[in-house]
Amino acid sequence: MEEKYLDMVMVPLGLLLLAIYHLWLLFTIARDPKRTVIGLDAQARQRWVRAMMIDTMQNGVLAVQTLRNNIMASTVLATTAITLTSVISVFVRITTTTTSASLLLYGNKSPAAYTIKYFTISLCFILAFLCNVQSIRYDAHVSFLVTTGEAGGVPADYVACSLNRGSFFWSLGLRAFYLSFTLFLWIFGPIPMLASSVAMCCLLFFLDTTTEFTRGFHVSSALKEDVTEEV
């Protein structure tokens, strides 16, 4: 296979691995949410909202401070994303393909390939910016709703749904940052990009699954049942 055709094979293969992993993650969240960190945290947030809305006079300040921390985290990521997009747009206007750099690159060295690489990285950062902005929007909306309490006529399930949507958008923005790292390695060739895609799938599987914790939870539940039966 010629060197210039490696990008046409390895880059789609790396993106396909990431897409298959995230499809499996979505399927697992829908079928067995307790096996994933996203599903388990979503259930925990629902319980947290109900606990906060029982007594808003006592828990209102705690709820607002917690949501403020989420808004600050999303703001930092959104600012970082839009700043990196601006920096990349400057690099696109400047010719970066030098002779010394092309000797270290094994793959397509055409100027059009460099433009596509920087453009895809910019798209990832723009997506991360938009997702984090939506996360800020939902968290700011929840900060008003959670302080009304159940006596205010707002169902706790609706507030929990809004909070989970904000958290899901934050997770999508973080995934866009992960993908941008893989696409950044594409600048150095398709082989580092494919290797980073495989490593990213393994790392995300370790970060997204809770098999070890759920197994311990089931074991502790079984021990409690045995103790109650003996008593």
Distances (CA, A) of 4 to 9, 12, 111, 113, 141: 10, 14, 12, 10, 50
Distance, in Å, from the CA atom of 196 to the CA atom of 17, rounded to the nearest integer, reads: 11
Distances (CA, A) of 27 to 30, 34, 37, 153, 184: 5, 12, 14, 34, 28
Which regions in the chain score pLDDT beneath 70?
1-4, 92-109, 149-152, 211-231
Whether residue 162 contacts residue 183, with contact meaning beta carbons closer than 8 Å, is answered with no
The single-letter code of the amino acid at 231 is: V
Q: What is the largest CA-CA distance in the chain?
A: 79
Residue-wise pLDDT tens digits, 15-63: 999 999 999 999 999 898 888 999 999 999 999 998 888 877 888 888 8
Whether residue 52 contacts residue 59, with contact meaning beta carbons closer than 8 Å, is answered with yes
Distance, in Å, from the CA atom of 28 to the CA atom of 147, rounded to the nearest integer, reads: 33
Neighbours of 26 (CB within 10 A): 12
Residue-wise pLDDT tens digits, 64-73: 888 999 999 9
Element (H, E) at 164: helix 156-186
Q: What is the pLDDT of residue 224?
A: 43
Q: Where are the domains of the chain?
A: 3-230
Burial 115-138 (b: 16+ CB within 10 A, else e): eebbebbbebbebbbbbbbbbbbb
Residue that the structure tokens 């070890």 belong to:
212
Report the Cα–Cα distance between both ends of the chain, in Å, rounded: 71
How many degrees, rounded to 5, is the angle at CA 192 between CA 180 and CA 183? 15
pTM for the complete prediction? 0.81
Distance, in Å, from the CA atom of 26 to the CA atom of 36, rounded to the nearest integer, reads: 10
Whether residue 202 contacts residue 110, with contact meaning beta carbons closer than 8 Å, is answered with no
Q: What is the pLDDT of residue 151?
A: 65
Bridge partners (DSSP) of residue 205 are none
